[in-house]
Structure 1
């Protein structure tokens, strides 16, 4: 089962192998879930109340410092950082120990 640890307004150093603009947060997470080499997804957005849609950027990373327990994240405005986790099967609620499980 795939889960994501999500940080709000923080970013970790990592190697981006693919980036795409104007996806939703859910779509960005879904791409990372489907890509075997994706270890983390960095999702950033620009808040503009005058624009009909938000400008977003989804970056898939195949290397990330977030898996290193001694790594410290950097503050980042308007950012969600999602580290991909593999959880053994079991009957867990959608939120368990602070982790968010996606629908699959």
Structure 2
């Protein structure tokens, strides 16, 4: 997993590249926690996610909500989108879809 994290005026922008699975969840958490400012996750480089990766996304979302800051996911590829839809997490997690009103 490659994690490209940049601090922007609007918050932390983080692009994840690779498989988002149990082996990389500790690395992702170490890079992104604690959540203290708006967090924008770009998953355009992620082609696979397992239940541990899903749990990490939900955990980051909860931490952002508890901190009262914005959390947004974008760039979701079809295989990951399918998993989010099958689990119902697409209706819970704040996912930005180009061309769709927020």
Task: Give the TM-score taking structure 2 as reference length.
Answer: 0.30
Q: Which has the higher contact order (CA 8 A, sep 6+)?
A: 1
Higher strand share: 1
**Larger C-alpha radius of gyration, 1 or 2?**
1
**TM-score of the aligned structures, taking structure 1 as reference length:** 0.30
